[in-house]
Structure 1
Amino acid sequence: MTTRILRLSAATMLLASAAVAIAPRLTGHISSSAVVNAPIIAVYAPFDGVIEHASPSIAQPVEEGDTLLVLNNRSLRGSELRALRSSLAAVSGEMSGLTQQSNAPERLRKELENRRDAAIDARKRWFVPRLDEAWAMVQHAEATVDASKARLQRIEKLSKNGSIAQREVEEARTTLLEDRATLASATATMRRLQIERDALTGGSNLDLESNDLEQIGYRLDEIAVRQADIQARLIQLRASRQGLQSQIAGLSIETKKQNAFVPKVTAAGVIWEVSAPEGSSVSIGEPLAQVLDCSRRFMEVILPEDSFETIVPGTPAQVKYKGASESFTARVSAVYGANTRPNRNMQAAEPRLTVDSGLRVIVGIGPADPSDPKVSRAFCEVGRSAEVRFDRKNTILDAVRALAGRVGLLDQPLVAGLVNDRTETDSRIN
């Protein structure tokens, strides 16, 4: 019995030693293939140009806000801008000439209108005595006709008595006809004068004696047509001028923007890929330089998918660089499902992943100081291998219990009692 107890005790001690040796595997997730990584910030040429100032050399530190390089535009659109300005000057000159042409007919129109108004006023004044004279002539003719009628009636009575010869009767009748004709002529003259007066009062250019007003009217019509043509042309020219001004403004802004491309560094880091030397020509879309962003370093590890509920952003992880004597604490910054595919083109290092599928865990390891020459020459330790460990809540005793269960020692009452007693003690302490 004593020998058996000693054997079981020795077995338990061996299990404990084995558990201590393999505890990291049983008490947490460990990835020994993690690689320090960081994003790359690439700058591309927005236009065809020439490098005026090249970027710093490779591995040189840069700070946020530093000028990365200077690219001058070699295809400036100055000639196009000058052509537009020349067209604008021509349009403005034509508008000025048309405006002057419009002013001259306008002055002539006002002069003709004044002449017409003066002529109409003069004619109106002229009609007053003429109408009075015509009215007097009509009245005189009417009186003459009345006298001729009375004389004819008297002569006809005398002719019936034989006192007057028939010849005198015929003469009286002829005189009456002549007087009536004179009355008709006087009446027609008065009506004509009235019509002319009424036409002038109504604004008409009717003139039965002279065509001066009619000629003035023709000239005014010609001026109106000419003015309409000038105004239509001015409207077209104004639209053209506005279009040219808009094109010039837009092209000026574009030319000013594209005169030189001076990109700024957006994050502290080191030069990952240098630009072409000064004086080199580059084409639009061509990569100019790349900066390693040392402020966002991370590691990528693959864990079993059953860890999705326990490994979340903010979960601590112990990181130990290969060759280092001490580890440091980092935290999970992102967790991706097994089917996600990262963009490796924007990463500086290629992670050494031992499996193709699983839970992708991104561990942020904090920024590096690129101003330190050792750090910048080492590219902020990008590419360095490390071991990343995620601790579980299991204890060493849990590891012993698990190992004992695997080898069948939990069936032995002594071992089971030792493990269970320890568990109860831990429970009471906790």
Structure 2
Amino acid sequence: MKLARILIGIVLLAGGLYILIGEHFAGTSADANVNARIYVIRAPIEGNVTLAVKSIGARLNAGELVADVSDDRFDNARLLELERNRDNQQIELTRIAAQRMAVSESRIGFSAQATDYQHGRTRQIEARLAENKAAQDAASARLRAADAAFRRANELSNRGVETAASFDRARAAFDVAQQDLESARQRNVYLETELASARSGVFIGESYNDAPSSSQRIRELDLRLAELSVDEQQVKARIAQYERQVDAERVRVNRLTSATLKAGVPGVAWDFLVDDGEFARRGQDLMKLVDCSNVIVTASVTESLYDSLTIGAPVQFRLFGDRRIFDGTIIRLGGSGASLLYTNLAVGPSAQHLQRFDVTATVPELAREPDLACAIGRTGRVIFSGGPIARLRRLLTRYGY
């Protein structure tokens, strides 16, 4: 029994020495902290700050509202001027539209007057043409009578019955009748030409123009309507240009009078640099946010251990008071005096940390643990090679202990 106790003691002593010596030669950090990058939210404009998140440690999702900044004192004189110029062009467009309507109504009146004149003139020429045709028929009848009289006078003159004076009168009457008929025919051709022109809207005749005054007024009004149409297109183009300028100026005013700040990454509210309702200048820091999407581990080691490390080498990390072990990878060897490397990190180095050599590792498995996804500030130890304790804990973890 006594021998068994001695053997058990020897085994426990050997195991303890194995663990102490193994852990010593395994290489561990003096201290290690769960760390993350700090994002500083700044005011893009000056104005009063309204915080949507008001407590340190509040969890934020990417795209979640953080704060609003509004400035009611911004000078919007340029926007007012553009809107006033646009309104003036709208008034001008209304005036041109009213003037076009008045000119169009006047043109309708003159068009009706010109149509009535054309119809009346056409009927007048048709009446004159009918009258001339009747005169032509009468001249044709007189020519036939004169021709018959001339023939009788010629026969009587050849017989010696008719005197030369009577024959000359019959000939003169025939010539006159023939001339009257030809004149009536020429007059008929002229009236037919005048009628065809009148039906097409062109009036030919003596002592008047080819178009009545109403038609001339229609042409003047058409020219005025064309000028008003050009003016209307120009005013519309200016209105469209002012609309674009007003929209652009409104966007600029909105950007300079109000701003909505949202979290760019999922994280935790780390610090508030202004109070709710406080006036902030443009570019002033408003809030610090810890980026929980990329958690790292910062540690310090001795110089002898530091000289044996390389970037990309595997490491193990375990938290104090926690039996879980997480795999990681060295991503930066900061060396001694690495205080400048912690400017944008949530947890700064201690004085003892700066006396040793800085090492940074990434541990992706931390983000998959709900209670450690953003456990900034938790401390632990980094093992740079598999020691006895690490192997023992992995074995216990595998069997559910």
Tell me the TM-score normalized by structure 1. 0.66
Q: CA RMSD in A?
A: 4.5
Match of 2:129 among 125, 128, 131: 131
**Counterpart residue type for residue 110 of structure 1:** I
Equivalent residues of 2:298, 2:358 under 8 A apart: no
The residue that corresponds to 1:223 in the other structure is 221
**Counterpart residue type for residue 317 of structure 2:** A
Match of 2:382 among 352, 363, 388: 388
Question: Superposition pairs for residues 383-422 of structure 1, below 5 Å?
Answer: 386-389=380-383, 392=386
**In 2, distance between residues paired with 1:43 and 1:30?**
37
**In 1, distance between residues paired with 2:333 and 2:190?**
108
What stretches of structure 2 of length at least 5 have no aligned partner?
A: 1-10, 300-305, 335-340, 393-401
Deviations 1:40-62 (A, max 9, x none): 12112222x134568999x9554
Equivalent residues of 1:41, 1:346 under 8 A apart: yes
Equivalent residues of 1:55, 1:275 under 8 A apart: no
Deviation at 1:93, TM superposition (A): 0.7
Question: SS at the partner of 2:82?
Answer: helix
Equivalent residues of 2:311, 2:330 under 8 A apart: no
What stretches of structure 1 of length at least 5 have no aligned partner?
A: 1-11, 321-325, 370-379, 399-430
Deviation at 1:191, TM superposition (A): 1.9
Identity of matched residues, %: 17
Equivalent residues of 1:40, 1:293 under 8 A apart: yes
**In 2, distance between residues paired with 1:147 and 1:299?**
139
Question: SS at the partner of 1:105?
Answer: helix
Count residues with an aligned counterpart: 359
**In 2, distance between residues paired with 1:256 and 1:306?**
48
**Counterpart residue type for residue 318 of structure 2:** Q
Equivalent residues of 2:310, 2:330 under 8 A apart: no
Deviation at 1:136, TM superposition (A): 1.1
Question: Superposition pairs for residues 165-244 of structure 1, below 5 Å?
Answer: 165-201=163-199, 203-208=200-205, 210-211=208-209, 213-244=211-242
Equivalent residues of 1:296, 1:367 under 8 A apart: no
Question: Superposition pairs for residues 223-372 of structure 1, below 5 Å?
Answer: 223-252=221-250, 254-256=252-254, 258-263=256-261, 269-272=268-271, 274-275=273-274, 282-283=281-282, 285-292=283-290, 298-300=296-298, 304-305=309-310, 308=313, 317-320=317-320, 326-329=321-324, 331-332=326-327, 335=329, 346-349=344-347, 360-362=361-363, 364=366
The residue that corresponds to 1:406 in the other structure is none
Match of 2:95 among 94, 97, 100: 97
Deviations 1:137-178 (A, max 9, x none): 111112222322333333334334443343433333333332
Residues 1:73 and 2:71 are matched in the alignment: yes
Tell me the TM-score normalized by structure 2. 0.71
Question: SS at the partner of 1:263?
Answer: strand
The residue that corresponds to 2:338 in the other structure is none
The residue that corresponds to 2:397 in the other structure is none
Equivalent residues of 2:269, 2:287 under 8 A apart: no
**In 2, distance between residues paired with 1:167 and 1:277?**
136
